[in-house]
């Protein structure tokens, strides 16, 4: 059974506890490295980097596209690839309801 570890934060230098349950969680996710930042610095870094998703206040990059069903110009949250159909939100919703 793992024991709590005390780690010094790489950003602010304060000591924080890497608990046994956190260690088990990291291991279950396949993470091999211990955290280098305290929870406060991790949260600050995540917020300044955008957190990996467009959460509240985050702008998601949109790409122009033409709907393959109706021909309407639209914007989608991914870069369209040649040969792959792209649908506007209305046509996409209609196609999902037919399943």
Residues 6+ apart with CB under 8 A from 4: 17, 18, 19, 20
CB atoms within 10 A of CB 88: 20
Work out the widest C-alpha separation in the chain, in whole angstroms: 60
Q: Is 57 left (phi over 0), alpha (psi -120 to 50) or beta?
A: left
What are the pLDDT tens digits along the chain (99 aa)? Answer: 679 999 999 999 999 999 999 999 999 999 989 999 999 998 888 887 765 555 555 667 888 999 999 999 999 888 898 889 999 989 988 887 665
Residues 6+ apart with CB under 8 A from 47: none
Q: pTM for the whole thing?
A: 0.47
In the chain, which ranges are continuous DSSP H helix?
A: 20-28, 39-48, 89-97
**Which secondary structure element, helix H or strand E, spans residue 73, and what is its range?**
strand 73-76
């Amino acid at each position: 059974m793992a024991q709590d570890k005390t780690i010094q934060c790489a950003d602010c230098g304060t000591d924080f506890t890497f608990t046994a349950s956190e260690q088990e969680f990291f291991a279950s996710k396949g993470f091999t490295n211990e955290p280098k930042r305290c929870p406060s610095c991790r949260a600050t870094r995540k917020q300044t980097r955008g957190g990996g998703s467009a959460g509240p206040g985050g702008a998601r990059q949109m790409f122009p596209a033409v709907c393959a069903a109706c021909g309407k110009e639209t914007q989608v949250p991914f870069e369209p690839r040649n040969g792959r159909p792209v649908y506007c939100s209305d046509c996409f919703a209609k196609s999902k309801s037919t399943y």
